């Protein structure tokens, strides 16, 4: 898209130059490092030009765009700025120091954006035959969650359900670890009871992973029904109430001295196995 003069004129005057760390808008953006603020405003911060372009293209609402002075005039930045203004957002041209402070990095990206959070209600999740979903029981580590969202996206999964008290998918650390997939994967949150009630009517097969699982994960037929891969908490594994709801308790056979796999690694192994069944064994791509 090339920006026309009208857009250009509209945008001039709507770009605020900010160089002070005590600017109230800068303070508000910095506060998004805290979950309390993200929850209150239902927003979060994401960094990187490509990621922001993709997010806007996918229909995410950007409230504030901040770009470094050095990025001024770059066509892609100008386009994103024009789109931000066109959808009622605010555009800030900031000093390097302000950008570092917003993103809490020494070598910040040229562009950062404040986006509205999006949660898909569990009741709207109606998995279809060839879909694979991931459900995570009380995931604690932001890096694990980000990696799982990214891996779910890359494997062709349909979304990630967060069960119980979990780390925030919209924290800066998790968003970074998703490498943009936070904008591509539907996210759902549910209590244990809500998840169990949903499972009973959703027509899904819950394949839970457990160190004491009775079934080798490679012997499961993932094609009978839509699959929900249920993964346990990093420290304590899957609790009995959730494990008891599973249609299969799968184990990834291990060798060596490690007593378990890292949660994100185990999720990746399961996801690619389930998707392999659906894509290759079924004659698909």
**Binds ligand SAM by CB under 6 A, chosen from 21, 25, 31, 211:** 211
User: How far is residue 280's CA from residue 5's CA, in Å, rounded to a whole number?
Assistant: 51
234 binds ligand SAM (CB under 6 A): yes
Nearer to ligand SAM, 109 or 233 (CB): 233
Nearer to ligand SAM, 77 or 266 (CB): 266
> Within 10 A of 142 (CB to CB), how many other CB atoms are there?
20
User: How far is residue 147's CA from residue 236's CA, in Å, rounded to a whole number?
Assistant: 20
What SS3 class is residue 209?
strand
251 binds ligand SAM (CB under 6 A): yes
- With CB under 6 A, what is the number of residues at the site for ligand SAM? 16
227 binds ligand SAM (CB under 6 A): no
**Binds ligand SAM by CB under 6 A, chosen from 175, 263, 268, 271:** 263
213 binds ligand SAM (CB under 6 A): yes
Q: Rounded to whole angstroms, what are the CA distances from 22 to 25, 30, 102?
A: 9, 11, 11
User: How far is residue 18's CA from residue 46's CA, in Å, rounded to a whole number?
Assistant: 19
- Best CA proximity match to 32, nearest among 70, 64, 58: 64
140 binds ligand SAM (CB under 6 A): no
Nearer to ligand SAM, 169 or 213 (CB): 213
Two tokens, residue 190? 């549910």
Q: Rounded to whole angstroms, what are the CA distances from 143 to 105, 149, 175, 224?
A: 17, 10, 9, 32
Angle between helix axes 96-103 and 24-31 (nearest 10 degrees) is 30
Nearer to ligand SAM, 187 or 269 (CB): 269
Q: Report in angstroms how near the CB of residue 260 gets to ligand SAM at its nearest.
A: 4
232 binds ligand SAM (CB under 6 A): yes
**Binds ligand SAM by CB under 6 A, chosen from 111, 139, 160, 266:** 266
Q: Report in angstroms how near the CB of residue 174 gets to ligand SAM at its nearest.
A: 17
Nearer to ligand SAM, 12 or 214 (CB): 214
Q: Rounded to whole angstroms, what are the CA distances from 263 to 89, 169, 230, 269?
A: 38, 16, 11, 10
Query: Residue 29: enclosing H or E segment and its boundaries?
Result: helix 24-31
231 binds ligand SAM (CB under 6 A): yes
Q: Report in angstroms how near the CB of residue 162 gets to ligand SAM at its nearest.
A: 14
Q: Report in angstroms how near the CB of residue 231 gets to ligand SAM at its nearest.
A: 4
**Binds ligand SAM by CB under 6 A, chosen from 81, 209, 228, 274:** 209
Per DSSP, the residues of 99-124 read: HHHHHT-SS--SEEEEEE-----GGG
Nearer to ligand SAM, 48 or 232 (CB): 232
- Best CA proximity match to 174, nearest among 49, 31, 44: 44
Nearer to ligand SAM, 163 or 252 (CB): 252
254 binds ligand SAM (CB under 6 A): yes
What SS3 class is residue 238?
coil
Determine phi and psi for 19, rounding to 5 degrees.
Answer: -125, -10
Q: Which stretch binds ligand SAM (CB under 6 A): 16-24, 43-51, 126-134, 229-237?
A: 229-237
Side-chain half-sphere exposure of 238, counting CA atoms within 13 A? 26
Residue numbers at the binding site for ligand SAM (CB under 6 A): 209-211, 213, 231-232, 234, 237-238, 251-252, 254, 260-261, 263, 266
């Amino acid at each position: 898209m090339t920006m026309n003069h009208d857009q250009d004129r509209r945008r001039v005057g709507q770009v605020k130059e900010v160089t002070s760390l005590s600017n109230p808008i800068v303070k508000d953006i910095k506060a998004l490092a805290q979950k309390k603020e993200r929850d209150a405003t239902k927003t979060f911060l994401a960094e990187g030009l490509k990621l922001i372009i993709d997010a806007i293209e996918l229909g995410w609402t950007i409230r504030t765009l901040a770009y470094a002075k050095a990025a001024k005039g770059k066509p892609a930045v100008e386009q994103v700025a024009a789109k931000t203004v066109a959808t009622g957002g605010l555009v800030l041209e900031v000093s390097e120091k302000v950008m570092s402070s917003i993103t809490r990095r020494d070598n910040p990206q040229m562009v950062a954006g404040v986006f509205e959070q999006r949660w898909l209600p569990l009741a709207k999740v109606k998995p279809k035959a060839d879909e694979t979903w991931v459900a995570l029981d009380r995931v604690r580590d932001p890096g694990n969650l980000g990696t799982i969202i990214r891996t779910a996206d890359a494997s062709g999964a349909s979304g990630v359900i967060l069960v119980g008290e979990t780390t925030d998918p919209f924290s800066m650390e998790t968003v970074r670890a998703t490498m943009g997939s936070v904008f591509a994967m539907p996210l759902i949150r549910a209590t244990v009871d809500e998840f169990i009630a949903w499972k009973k009517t959703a027509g899904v097969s819950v394949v839970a992973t457990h160190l004491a699982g009775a079934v080798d994960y490679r012997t499961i037929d993932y094609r009978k029904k839509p699959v929900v891969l249920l993964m346990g908490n990093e420290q304590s594994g899957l609790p009995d109430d959730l494990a008891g709801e599973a249609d299969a308790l799968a184990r990834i056979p291990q060798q060596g001295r490690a007593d378990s796999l890292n949660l994100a690694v185990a999720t990746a192994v399961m996801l690619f196995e389930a998707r392999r069944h659906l894509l290759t064994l079924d004659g698909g791509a």
